[in-house]
């Protein structure tokens, strides 16, 4: 990368990239940083358009229903949208969501990751799987198949868990 610091120059995060760190408030208003999880767990980082919209609720509930499986496989699930912490708190309470929801009010992190919009209007729905070393191992984007994000993420998390159990270096696999 050049010395430019524009979002366009930072570009779109791709498989093999070090995931950009960030700190955002969670649904209780507490700051959460990506670096808090590096070295400890795989991170399933999913960007979604809006709390309580039909597709986003379907996606969140699917992540909820598989959350124990993700945790058993050594992964943490984190959702990000531009909604407020208060909105996230209501959304999490209403649907009994056990995972972290982060408020990206100005969409700065969404832009840093290069999450696209749909039809130029709707914030995109993209899931990033970040390994324990902070490397993006898989990206899945589908605005209209929210449940597919959970299936894709679980498959990749299980693959990473198997690699770790077999002693395979994540760096070897990324090449």
**110: nearest Cα among 123, 99, 101:** 123
56 is catalytic: yes
CA 86 – CA 28 distance, rounded (Å) = 7
SS3 label, residue 174:
helix
Q: What are the tokens at 6?
A: 């524009």
- Of 56, 92, 101, 139, the catalytic one is 56
**147: nearest Cα among 127, 119, 122, 121:** 127
Which positions are catalytic? 56
């Amino acid at each position: 990368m050049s010395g430019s610091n524009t979002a366009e120059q930072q570009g779109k995060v791709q498989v093999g990239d070090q995931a950009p760190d960030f700190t955002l408030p969670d649904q209780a208003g507490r700051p959460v940083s990506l670096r808090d999880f590096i070295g400890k767990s795989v991170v399933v980082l999913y960007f979604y358009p809006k709390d309580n919209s039909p597709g986003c609720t379907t996606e969140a509930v699917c992540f909820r229903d598989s959350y124990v499986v993700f945790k058993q496989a050594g992964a943490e699930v984190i959702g990000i949208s531009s909604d407020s912490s208060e909105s996230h708190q209501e959304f999490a309470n209403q649907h009994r969501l056990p995972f972290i929801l982060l408020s990206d009010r100005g969409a700065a992190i969404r832009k840093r990751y290069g999450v696209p919009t749909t039809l130029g209007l709707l914030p995109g729905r993209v899931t990033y799987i970040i390994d324990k070393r902070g490397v993006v191992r898989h990206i899945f984007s589908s605005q209209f198949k929210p449940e597919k994000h959970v299936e894709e993420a679980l498959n990749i998390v299980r693959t990473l868990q198997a690699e770790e159990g077999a002693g395979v270096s994540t760096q070897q696999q990324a090449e």
